[in-house]
Structure 1
Amino acid sequence: MHATANRWVQPAGQRWLTGPAGRDLARWRLICIPHAGGGASSFRPWDALTGSDVELLVAQLPGRESRFREPALDRVQPVVAALADAIGLLAPKPTVLFGHSMGAMLAYELARRLIQTAPAQGPRLLAVSGRTPPGSRSTLKDLLGMDDDDFARALSERYDGIPAALMADPALMAVFLPTLRADFRMVAEYEPKPAELSALPCPILAMGGIDDRHAAPETLAGWQGFTTARFDSAIFPGGHFYLGSDPAAVVARLMAGLPDDLR
C-alpha cells in the first residue's frame, strides 16, 4: 500500500535533504536529485508513489525553494561534498540514488564519493535519467556567454522546461536566472579527466524519454561502461522531462530494478 502525501521535513534539521515526515524508520532510503533549476518539489508526486518502507529524501540545492536566498553553486564538487556530508549525518541503511539530467551527473559523482569515503552509505543502485554518460562532450557552453534574454530564450527552445508565464514576466525571470545560470555553468564545465571516470560496483539503471534531444535513447547505453555490476535501461514516452508525464510508471520501473532484498 502506498503512503498518502505527507508534510515534508528536513532530517536532523539540515538544509540539503528534505522528504516526507515519518519515514525515518523505513527499511531503505531513496535519494533523488533534481534537474538544473529544479527544486525538491519536482519529486513531490513520488511521496504518494513510494511505500512507507521507503525513506524518500530529495536534494534541495541552494538558490531554489526553501533555500532561495542562498547563492546557487556553479561547481560539481562543492555540491557533491555537501550532499555526502548531509548523508553522513543519517543512520546508515540501504540506499538508492536517482538523478535526472543535471541530477544524474551529480548522482554519479555522489555515488563515487560515497563508495570511496563512506562505503556503508554507498548506493545499492544508481538510477540515472535524461543524461548522457560522464565524459560526453558538452553542448551547453554557448549558453554561458549569452545575455539574459538570449539565455532564457535558448533554454525555452531547447528544453521546453520554462513555463510560458515565467518567460513573459521579465522581473520574475530575473529572479530565477542566477540559479539557472549557475546550474548550466556547472553542467557545461563538468569535464572530468578519463582517469576520474571510474566504474561503480553497484548496478546502474539508465532511463530516458524516447524523444529526448539531449539524451537520446541510444546514448543511454553508454552508462553500461560505468558499472562492474548489472546494467539495465528503460525508455518512456516523451522528451527530456518525460518523468513528469507519468511518474507512477517511472517509480514502478525504478522499483522493478531494485536488488532482490529491497523489493
Structure 2
Amino acid sequence: MIAYELSRALSRHYFLSPRKLFVSAKRAPHLPCRDKPLHQLPEAEFIAALRDYNGTPHDVLANEELMGIFLPVLRADFCLSESYRFDAQERLLTDLVLFGGRRDSLVPEPDLLAWKELFEGACEYRQFDGDHFFIHSQRDELLAGIADYLSMSLERGTV
C-alpha cells in the first residue's frame, strides 16, 4: 500500500509514474475490507490471530521477550493496513505485476486481480504454491520471478 500511495503521489505532484509496481498477496485498496480488525485486540487474542495467519514463526510467538519487541511493530502494521481508506482518483500509467499464493484464504484471487482496475499499464499475474505467506515458502522462486521481470524490462529499455 505504501508503494501504491507513493506511486500516486509521484504521479499527482511530479507527473512521474514508476515503470512497474509489484504487489504481493494484498487485497486491492478500493475493495471493502471483510476482515475483523485485529490491531486493537487484547494481547493474547492478537497473538492467537498471528498464529492463525501462519506468518510468524512459532518460536517467535512463544518467546515473551521477542514478542515484547515485535508486538508494537506488528500492531502498527495491522493498524496501517486496517485503517487505510482508499480515495478514488485517476488510474496510474504504471505496469503492474501481481503475485499470489494458490491457497491464500486471506486474499482470494479476485481481490488480488482487482488491482488491475486502478492501472492503465500492462498487468501480469503469477501464482505460487502456498498460502498467504508464500513469500517464505517460495522465496527463491519469487525472487527469481522479480529478477526475470526486471531483466525483461532492462532488455526492452523500459527501466
Q: TM-score, normalised by structure 2?
A: 0.85
Q: Which of 123, 135, 138 pairs up with 1:246?
A: 138
Q: Which amino acid aligns with 2:143?
A: V
The answer as to whether partners of 1:212 and 1:240 remain within 8 angstroms in 2 is yes
Alignment partners' CA distance in 2, 1:236 and 1:243 = 9
Shift of 1:187: 0.5
Q: Please identify which structure carries the higher strand content.
A: 1
Q: Please identify which structure carries the higher helix content.
A: 2
Alignment partners' CA distance in 2, 1:238 and 1:256 = 20
Shift of 1:188: 0.5
Shift of 1:228: 0.9
Change (3 A) 1:112 1:222: same
Unaligned runs of 5+ in 1: 1-104
Between the two structures, name the one with larger relative contact order (CA 8 Å, sep ≥ 6).
Answer: 2
Q: Which of 5, 20, 31 pairs up with 1:136?
A: 31
Deviation by residue 1:166-197 (Cα, 9 ceiling, x = unmatched) = 2212232122111111111111011223x34x
SS in 2 for 1:145: coil
Runs of 4+ residues deviating >3 angstroms:
139-142, 255-259
Change (3 A) 1:241 1:107: same
Q: Which residue of 1 aligns with 2:55?
A: 161
Q: Which of 108, 123, 130 pairs up with 1:231?
A: 123
The answer as to whether partners of 1:205 and 1:231 remain within 8 angstroms in 2 is yes
Unaligned runs of 5+ in 2: none
Instruction: Give 1:169-180 correspondences, 5 Å limit.
Output: 169-180=63-74
Shift of 1:208: 0.8
Deviation by residue 1:200-249 (Cα, 9 ceiling, x = unmatched) = 10111111110111112232221111111211111011111112223332
Instruction: Give 1:68-217 correspondences, 5 Å limit.
Output: 105-119=1-15, 122-157=17-52, 159-193=53-87, 195-196=88-89, 198-217=90-109
The answer as to whether partners of 2:18 and 2:94 remain within 8 angstroms in 1 is yes
Q: Which amino acid aligns with 1:109?
A: E
SS in 2 for 1:152: helix
Alignment partners' CA distance in 2, 1:240 and 1:221 = 15
Report the number of matched residues.
155
SS in 2 for 1:204: strand
Q: TM-score, normalised by structure 1?
A: 0.54
